Amino acid sequence: MLHIHDTLTRQKMPLRTAEPGVVRMYVCGMTVYDFCHLGHARMLVGFDVVQRWLRASGYRVRYVRNITDIDDKIIRRAVERGVTIRALTGFFIDAMHADERALGVQPPDDEPRATEHVAGMLDIIRTLESKGLAYQGADGDVNFPVRKFPGYGKLSGKSLDDLRAGERVAVSSGKQDPLDFVLWKSAKPDEPADTRWDSPYGPGRPGWHIECSAMSHALLGMPLDIHGGGPDLKFPHHENEIAQSEGAFGGTLATAWMHCGPMMVDAEKMSKSLGNFRRIRDTLSVDAADDRADYAVNPREAEMLRFFLVRSHYRSAQNYAPDNLLDAQHALDRLYQTLASVPPEAIDLDWNDPAAQAFRAAMDDDFNTAGAVAVLFDLAGQANRDSNARASGLMRALGGILGLLQADPAVYLKSPTRFLAGGARADTLSSDAIEALIAERAQAKAARDFARADAIRAQLREQGVELADAAGGATQWRRV
């Protein structure tokens, strides 16, 4: 049985769903004012693996991941660039989708945008107001009085006296308590016209937290079976979602809460605010430019990054460092070398197989991808020792559940990569140039000019190309 670590109870618990065989999962997505960085990749890939395993386990999944397309940061960036909110967010949504495609992240079943659900947000605010859980301050903002909601702080594990307003919550003179958070922001005279909506409280826009309460309720209802997000969303965002949703509708917002671990750089969390982030596109791209959303992807590097993310447990802190990416590239290459050396047999996945059972046991233990990846390496060892095509095929089939090992091994191993010991090379040979040198080497061997043949092999090795002479005179090659 699948067990999930629940952030709220701090315990592993069996997956319980409101409807048998159906999982309704809501994950807080991007605020689209800039390109995604590797910390975002951690969340995107982590919950992609979650929904893949749920489906592989036989559940019908409704996976919703929202987009925040109205926010103070979005407004500031649009004003800086002299563009409309819609133009700015549309560009960065396209860029986010390009990153998802590069990482093999399957699209969610629904991808609602906050601006499409403003009416629903106002409905919730009116309901909260009728229950004494919303008030309009002198500055026109509508706020939620957190001290009137019993249990506030239960997700973050903080008492009210320990809590503060949070990164995105500005303390204003209109609040009755500094901890109160904004449900509706009154429009300011200098803000663009496309950032305001009419409301019973005057023109304005929604606060950040109310967006997810409205979107999750409209698309999935309550309780959610799984509510997920990044590590920095526990407080204030998810804490405030609980207060809004449970305050308005009663009941429980989510049965299980999942939060992925942070991406670290030198023991500090990777984030735009700290300025230590690396963008996904810079890690994977062939031709990315800041004025284009889409970009060509190096497939070997892209799968390496997904592998780097997947081989750590989603809740663990993961450290970004060049050496860690080099190690991930070499490790993934070893799996593909097995597929190249022992062509996989096409199989129907048998969950009674001991290796498949070990894979399932790992994934059912709170999506322990580190344990699942270990099974792949065990199968690779078995395939290499015994030239076992079935072990190779099982390795590929199980890897597919993690979004790995589905490329043609020959194409993968011939693709250049910056993440090997030699790093990026200005003299990297094209595939055509390599094939030409291999043909010249074959001619030299036929003419018994072994000195020239050896010189060509050495030249290729110097430039990161390894040759393997097969029976019958054929020569295979790969970049190392």
Taking Cα atoms as reference points, which of 415, 477, 136 lies closest to residue 286?
Answer: 415
> Residues within the annotated binding site?
28, 212, 237, 241, 272
pLDDT tens readout for residues 430-467: 888 888 888 778 787 778 877 887 787 888 888 878 88
> Residues within the annotated binding site for ATP?
272
Top pLDDT among 7 and 468 is at: 7
pLDDT tens readout for residues 68-103: 999 999 999 999 999 999 999 999 999 999 999 999
pLDDT bin (cut points 50, 70, 90) of residue 294 is very high
Q: Find the angle CA(126)-CA(128)-CA(134) to the nearest 5 degrees.
A: 95
Q: What is the pLDDT of residue 473?
A: 64
pLDDT bin (cut points 50, 70, 90) of residue 429 is confident
> Residues within the annotated binding site for Zn(2+)?
28, 212, 237, 241
284 pLDDT above the threshold of 60: yes
Q: Indicate the range of 12-16, 23-27, 170-174 predicted with least confidence.
A: 170-174
Q: Find the angle CA(445)-CA(446)-CA(449) to the nearest 5 degrees.
A: 45
Averaged pLDDT for residues 352-356:
97
**Residue 465 pairs with which residues in a beta bridge?**
479
pTM: 0.91
pLDDT tens readout for residues 43-52: 999 999 999 9
Q: Find the angle CA(279)-CA(282)-CA(285) to the nearest 5 degrees.
A: 130
Averaged pLDDT for residues 224-237:
96
Top pLDDT among 67 and 276 is at: 67
User: What is the C-alpha separation between 242 and 240, in angstroms, rounded?
Assistant: 5
